[in-house]
Amino acid sequence: MKFNEAIEIVLKHEGGFSDHPNDTGGATRYGITERVARGAGYEGDMKELPLDTAKDIYRQNYWDRMRLDEIEDGRLRLLLMDTGVNMGVGTAGRILQRAHNLLSEGQITVDGAIGPITLEHINQINRRDNLLYTVEILRGYRYLEIVKNNGSQRVFIHGWFNRLRSVAGRGGELIIKEGEISVDDAIYKLADLLVEKLK
């Protein structure tokens, strides 16, 4: 999957202007926070941020920064792009590196930077479905950690898992079906799911 396809999927989740009181990122348009927009040189009203400007920001600050054109698996490109947008590029990089280290004898540094060493190791993994499953589950685990550490974020949990399910097709299904499962129970269930998927 290339950037132009991936960004359309990401934008379906990000929508237009949003200013949810519990969103720790603050007001956004197309998912771009004011801080990110200002850092990219946009000086106008956030409610008026042009779509083309948002796409340029996504290309430079997310897709290019994570070097996604250099990742061979198109499914992984989309999953990482969406993870970077939803959680930050450093978190997306750390999730990818942790997933690799769970699956491979050769360990890479978990620093969040997707550089030449990470790219080389990721592109050499033979069982790419396992890598995708592991990234999905670690992303789900991160959502649960967020809610466990800040109860005000619970309002977003179903939306986050629906989003994950939509871009990955598997990871979010467990939590949605379980309904009001406790965060601690969900963490253990995700760990069990990871073990089962990797058999």
Per-domain boundaries in the chain: 1-62, 73-198
Q: For the chain, give the mean pLDDT.
A: 85
Q: Which residues contact 49 (CB under 8 A, 6 or more apart)?
A: 29, 30, 32, 37, 42
Predicted pLDDT of residue 177: 44
Q: What is the pLDDT of residue 187?
A: 59
Question: Would you tell me the crossing angle of helices 183-197 and 128-149 to the nearest 10 degrees?
Answer: 170
Q: Which residue has the higher pLDDT, 78 or 171?
A: 78
Other beta carbons less than 10 A from residue 43's beta carbon: 6
Residues in CB range of 55: below 8 A, 6 or more apart: 7
Alpha-carbon span 36 to 138, nearest angstrom: 25
User: What CA–CA distance (Å, rounded) separates 167 from 57?
Assistant: 20
Mean pLDDT of 98-118: 93
Residues of the chain with pLDDT > 90, as a percent, come to: 52
Would you say residue 57 has pLDDT above 90?
yes
Asked whether the predicted pLDDT for residue 64 surpasses 90, the reply is yes
Q: What is the pTM of this model?
A: 0.82
pLDDT of 196 higher than 70: no
CATH of 73-198, one of 1.10.10, 2.60.300, 1.20.141, 1.10.3470: 1.20.141
* 1-62 matches 73-198 in fold: yes
Q: Secondary structure of the chain: what % helix, strand, coil (to 5)? A: 70, 5, 30
Give one DSSP letter per residue of 128-155, joined into a string: HHHHHHHHHHHHHHHHHHHHHH-GGGGG
Q: Once rounded to an integer, what is the mean pLDDT over residues 112-127?
A: 95
Q: How many residues would you count in the chain?
A: 199
Of 106 and 57, the one with more pLDDT: 57
Identify the pLDDT of residue 94.
98
Cβ neighbours of residue 192 closer than 8 Å, sequence gap 6 or more: none
Q: Please give the pLDDT value at position 184.
A: 55
Q: Residue 172 — pLDDT band, cuts 50, 70, 90?
A: very low
Q: What is the CATH topology of the domain spanning 1-62? A: Chitosanase, subunit A; domain 1 (1.20.141)
Bridge partners of residue 195, in order along the sequence: none
Distance CA 67, CA 159 (A): 27
The CA distance from 155 to 42, in Å, is 30
